[in-house]
Amino acid sequence: DHRYGETAKLRKKAEDEEHQRLMAWNDAENKRLLERRLERLQKEELLEKARKVQSDQQRVAFQEEFLKKKEAEVLQLHEESQNFITLENLDQRIEECLNQTQNYNFAIDKDGRIVKRTAMP
C-alpha cells in the first residue's frame, strides 16, 4: 500500500508540475497574443488617422476648387452685367438700337453664305 501511496503522490506531483507548465505556457501565449493584438490595433488606428487626414485634404481641395469656380462664375457674371439693360441706361440703350439698325432680311445658301439681301428702307 505504501508503494501505491508513493506512486499516487508522484503522479499527483507530476500532474501538478505539468499543470503549472501548461499554465505558464498559456500565460505566455496570452501575453504574446495580447501584444500582437495591441500592435494590430495601433496599426489600424494609424491607418484610420491617415485615411482621415487624406479625406480631410481631399475635402479641402474640393472646397477650394469649388470656391475658385464660383468666384470665376461671379466675375464672369459681373463682367456680363456691364451689358445688362437697367432703368438707368434704358433710354440710352433704346437710342443705340434705333441708331444701329440691322437688316435681318436676307437669303442664305446651303453653306450659310448670304446670297441675297434686301435694302433697308
User: What CA–CA distance (Å, rounded) separates 78 from 32?
Assistant: 68
In the chain, the amino acid numbered 89 is: N
- pTM of the predicted protein model: 0.48
Query: In the structure, what pLDDT confidence band is assigned to residue 5 with cuts at 50, 70 and 90?
Result: confident
| Domain chopping of the chain, boundaries | 1-84
pLDDT (0 to 100) of residue 35? 98
* Range 24-37 average pLDDT: 98
What is the average pLDDT score of the chain? Answer: 92
pLDDT (0 to 100) of residue 120? 65
Between residues 103 and 52, the one the model is more confident about: 52
Q: What is the DSSP letter of 32?
A: H
Strands 114-117 and 106-108: antiparallel
For the segment 54-100, what is each residue's pLDDT rounded down to a tens digit?
999 999 999 999 999 999 999 999 999 888 999 999 999 999 988 98
pLDDT (0 to 100) of residue 115? 85
